[in-house]
Chains A and B, each alone.
Chain A
């Protein structure tokens, strides 16, 4: 039981965050934009964390950069462009939909289609044709059934 509690408790732990700096925002929308942006930008030093989650120096600098740009009244798109101009599409956890990232976006759909097509082909190949048995087949079946297990 103790073990079970431990498991349940560990599932309740929310992902740790590292953005501990105090930031002052004039409007709540700005703070919302800040929170959204820093949890969408990848920390390039520790590639599987966002800059909100990471403690790395670069993540701190990028959080500062995002904050300052928001304070200057820059739009979300401006900040996203600023980051991708410098670090490439990879810096966004959710890359923009364009020709270069098409495979990334459509890949899963492509695989689903391939999978469904495979299932469909296999099913139609092995589909049982529901024809009644011929007289000889029926007779053979009856004789086998009559004999039972001791045959």
Chain B
């Protein structure tokens, strides 16, 4: 008994530390989940004289993907977004975050454009409203315009099948 107690304490500590190792400290729970997507009214990247707001997507399930031409890990997830766009199952909106239109357009023509439309958040204010801290980030927004899921960091292989497509399917089935 005298020796068992320290052993148990050690095992308990080891379990907590092991859990701690597995947690991702960069993954911060978003307070936006189940709240209306923050409002924006931003110029369209391809046609800057036109503007779009979050209200324009009412009644549709859409993904808001935060990206930038300077963002290295955006390149990592890009092929997956292209793949998603090919399936044509969801409206994919790009939030071009703190970028220059010229660089952003060049990046899209070089790597391919998976977005139905991209809007420009040149000074990052919309990014702040969405609590963006690590580009790329992807928000899943339902037909009522409510944020249902947030993905921080690049979309990884397998995430489409495991996370995004099930969300899209579920939200498409919801009645407004």
Interface residues of A, Cβ cutoff 8 Å to B:
44-45, 47, 57-58, 61-62, 65, 84-88, 90
| A45 x B31 contact (CB < 8 A) | no
Chain A residues near B28 (CB-CB < 8 A): 44, 87-88, 90
| A62 x B30 contact (CB < 8 A) | no
How many residues on B have C-beta within 8 angstroms of the other chain's C-beta atoms? 20
> Is B78 part of the binding interface, using a Cβ–Cβ cutoff of 8 Å?
no
Q: How far is the CB of A127 from chain B (nearest CB, A)?
A: 18
Interface residues of B, Cβ cutoff 8 Å to A:
25-26, 28-32, 38, 98, 123-125, 127-134
Chain A residues near B132 (CB-CB < 8 A): 58
Give the CA-CA distance A137 to B174 in the complex, in Å. 87
| A57 x B134 contact (CB < 8 A) | no
Q: What is the chain B residue whose CB lies nearest that of A65?
A: B128
Chain A residues near B133 (CB-CB < 8 A): 44-45, 58, 87
Task: Identify B131's interface contact among A47, A61, A87, CB under 8 A.
Answer: A87
Q: What is the chain A residue whose CB lies nearest that of B26?
A: A47
Other A-B pairs, 6, CB within 8 Å; known A57-B98, A57-B124, A86-B32: A47-B25, A61-B125, A65-B128, A86-B38, A86-B128, A86-B131
Give the CA-CA distance A44 to B128 in the complex, in Å. 11
Q: What is the chain B residue whose CB lies nearest that of A43?
A: B133
Known: A45-B134, A47-B25. A88 touches B31 (CB 8 A): yes
Give the CA-CA distance A88 to B133 in the complex, in Å. 12
Closest 3 CB pairs of A and B: A44-B133, A86-B131, A88-B31
Chain A residues near B32 (CB-CB < 8 A): 86
| A88 x B131 contact (CB < 8 A) | yes
Chain A residues near B38 (CB-CB < 8 A): 86
Q: How far is the CB of A139 from chain B (nearest CB, A)?
A: 34
Chain B residues near A85 (CB-CB < 8 A): 31
Give the CA-CA distance A113 to B126 in the complex, in Å. 46
Give the CA-CA distance A85 to B31 in the complex, in Å. 6
Q: How far is the CB of A140 from chain B (nearest CB, A)?
A: 29
Give the CA-CA distance A90 to B134 in the complex, in Å. 15
